[in-house]
Amino acid sequence: MKIFIRILIIVGIVIAIPLIVALFVNGEYNIKREITINKPKQEVFNYIKMLGNQKHYSVWVMKDPNAQMESAGTDGTVGYMSKWNSNIKDVGQGEQEIKMLKDGERMELALHFIKPFEGHATAFMQTDALGEQQTKVTWGFYSKMPYPVNIMLLFMNLEDHLGKDLQDGLNNLKGVLEK
């Protein structure tokens, strides 16, 4: 009986420690990358506000060109929704909706991930003129992991992983627009 109680205490401690640690882990993450594109600001913005163009630069969309894609609304306008469903685990299933457009300057998107995990995030793309023929594009991503799964942030390097995907997408965008 004493051994059973000791085992229960040890199991309880093993379970309690990560739950206690998770109380002190910030579950929010905010990642952004930027690039300079040698094109006028409005031309760049007009291209990125069209979510259908992501198939030419977004690494996530490009991972599965055979993903089932659906859309609702008018691309490039507030309320437009793009949905995807892929058998590739890294792509999964989800949807994104244009929530805000400030013409020539900023687009904000609400993302809903369905598979392989449920989650919500906010993304934005912003254009800033550096000259008549030069535009800085910033692509950002914000989300929050709820307690207790926020403890995973201690073991995940989202800044490198997600940041790399954002930067690769921006590099692709630059290649497409400067072609």
Residues 84-108: tens digit of each pLDDT? 999 998 899 999 999 999 999 999 9
Mean of all residue pLDDT scores within the chain: 92
User: Quick one: pLDDT band at residue 118, thresholds 50, 70, 90?
Assistant: confident
Between CA 108 and CA 101 the distance in angstroms is: 7
Chain-centroid distance of CA 141 in Å reads 5
pLDDT at 96: 97
Buried residues in 111-139 as b, exposed as e (16+ CB within 10 A): bebeeeeeeebbbbbbbeeeeeeebebbb
In percent, the amount of the chain with pLDDT more than 90 equals 68
Mean pLDDT on 9-14: 87
Q: Backbone phi, then psi, for 84, in 5-degree steps? A: -135, 155
In percent, the amount of the chain with pLDDT more than 70 equals 100
pLDDT at 136: 98
**Domain ranges for the chain:** 26-177
Contact 173, 37 (CB under 8 A): yes
Q: Which residues pair with 30 in a beta bridge?
A: 142
Between CA 109 and CA 141 the distance in angstroms is: 9
Q: Which residues pair with 172 in a beta bridge?
A: none
Buried residues in 22-31 as b, exposed as e (16+ CB within 10 A): beebebebeb
CATH number for the domain whose boundaries are 26-177: 3.30.530.20
